[in-house]
């Protein structure tokens, strides 16, 4: 049996929806895309994100590549869902680190902090600022999905 990860999201709102599914398999210890379904038609009903993971070896741990759920300060608060429909923004400095799934940059940024400033609670912050806090403060903020999906290295998201 080969380790496989599959994630699909057809529609989460009436405005934004995915048009593609990607299936990746661990081949000789490296995640590789083995199948892509493109041009999926828009559905009227939202569905949930689905993961299918099987494994023949417990030594291979699949990773979850997360986009930040926080808005980018320099882009007027643009979130990764906005970047997804304006994919050319992935070329801007730091955007791929903030939205690695949308920008197809998981191999580089899956476990890395966002390199750009982001909006949280009405102010702008960086992962460097979070990393400079005391360990108890880091642990407190990293309990928030918005923070751990953004500062993946500082929050040790890939170790979970």
How confident is the model at residue 74, as a pLDDT?
80
pTM: 0.62
Distance CA 155, CA 144 (A): 10
Distance CA 10, CA 39 (A): 11
Mean pLDDT (whole number) for 91-117:
93
**pLDDT > 90: percent of the chain:** 36
pLDDT digits (tens, 9 = 90+) for 14-68: 455 555 666 666 555 556 666 666 655 555 444 444 444 444 444 444 457 888 9
* 106 compared with 54, residue with greater pLDDT: 106
């Amino acid at each position: 049996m080969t380790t496989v990860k599959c994630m699909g999201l057809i529609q989460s709102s009436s405005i934004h929806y995915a048009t593609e599914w990607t299936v990746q398999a661990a081949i000789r210890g490296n995640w590789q895309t083995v199948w892509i379904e493109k041009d999926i038609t828009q559905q009227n009903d939202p569905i949930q994100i689905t993961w299918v993971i099987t494994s023949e070896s417990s030594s291979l741990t699949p990773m979850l590549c997360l986009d930040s759920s926080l808005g980018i300060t320099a882009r007027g608060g643009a979130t990764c869902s906005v970047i997804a429909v304006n994919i050319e923004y992935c070329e801007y400095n730091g955007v791929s680190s903030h939205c690695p799934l949308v920008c197809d940059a998981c191999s580089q940024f899956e476990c890395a902090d966002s390199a750009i400033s982001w909006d949280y609670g009405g102010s702008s912050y960086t992962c460097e600022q979070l990393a400079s806090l005391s360990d108890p403060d880091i642990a407190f903020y990293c309990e928030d999905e918005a923070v751990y999906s953004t500062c993946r290295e500082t929050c040790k998201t890939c170790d979970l």
